[in-house]
Amino acid sequence: MADPMMKALTAIALIASLLVCSSLASSDVPFIVAHKKATLNRINSGAERVSVTIDIYNQGTSTAYDVSLTDDGWPSDKFSVISGSTTKSWEKLDAGGILSHTFELETNTKGVFAGEPAVIKFRVPTKAALQEALSTPILPLDVLADRPPEQKFEWAKRLLAKYGSLISVISIIVLFVYLVATPSKSSTKGSKKRR
């Protein structure tokens, strides 16, 4: 007897949760998703630049207003801002819209750095308080890491590994065209004998 009762309760709970989720999903609010990425670029043996890009997406059904981005997770004793700013503001972000912000830092401190997510604040017309969203965190950056020197012909090995089958097919086609286009010795001897 407990088994049919349990199935009925589970079904009712499932239907209730679907109804709640559908009512929340149909509400007219912005849904902010932010992706943060950082890339390293060595400029000389003692310094490295970090290019940071933060893309902000509004996946909701209404506009977000007074959108502000703050990325203060970069210690000023290790990183200095070269171009751009770690903060940015926009008037609004429409539903389905995308905003992007890029800035560049420079460091001469060696070590592994794990950055914090950026903070995005925005206003929803139906709520008095500012809403807050966090970006994705970045993967740890190994700043000024000792990288082994690239060996000669390493690029050729990578090229063959990536496009080896394509290179083989092109080589076979070129060989086939060469064999078809050049006359064979037996056909040229026969044409000389006939004269």
Q: Tens digit of pLDDT for each residue in 74-105?
A: 999 999 999 999 999 999 999 999 999 999 99
Q: Does the structure show a pLDDT above 50 at 44? A: yes
Q: Where are the domains of the chain?
A: 27-141, 147-179
Dihedral sign of CA atoms 145, 146, 151, 157 in order: negative
Q: What angle do CA 169, 171, 175 make, to 5 degrees?
A: 120
Tell me what pLDDT residue 133 has: 95
Looking at the chain, the whole-number percentage of residues with pLDDT higher than 90 is 43
Tell me what pLDDT residue 1 has: 46
Tell me what pLDDT residue 30 has: 92
Fold of 27-141: Immunoglobulin-like (2.60.40)
Among the residue ranges 106-110, 134-138, 179-183, the one predicted with the least confidence is 179-183
Greatest pairwise CA separation for the chain in angstroms:
105
Distance CA 160, CA 172 (A): 16
Q: Tens digit of pLDDT for each residue in 116-159?
A: 999 999 999 888 899 999 999 998 888 887 766 656 667 677 76
Q: 71 and 100 in contact (C-beta within 8 Å)?
A: no
Distance CA 188, CA 195 (A): 11
Q: Tens digit of pLDDT for each residue in 54-76?
A: 999 999 999 999 999 999 999 99
List CB contacts of 92: < 8 A, sequence separation 6 or more.
63, 64, 65, 66, 67
| pLDDT tier at 185, thresholds 50, 70, 90 | low
| 31 vs 9 pLDDT, higher one | 31
In whole numbers, what is the pLDDT of the chain averaged over residues?
82
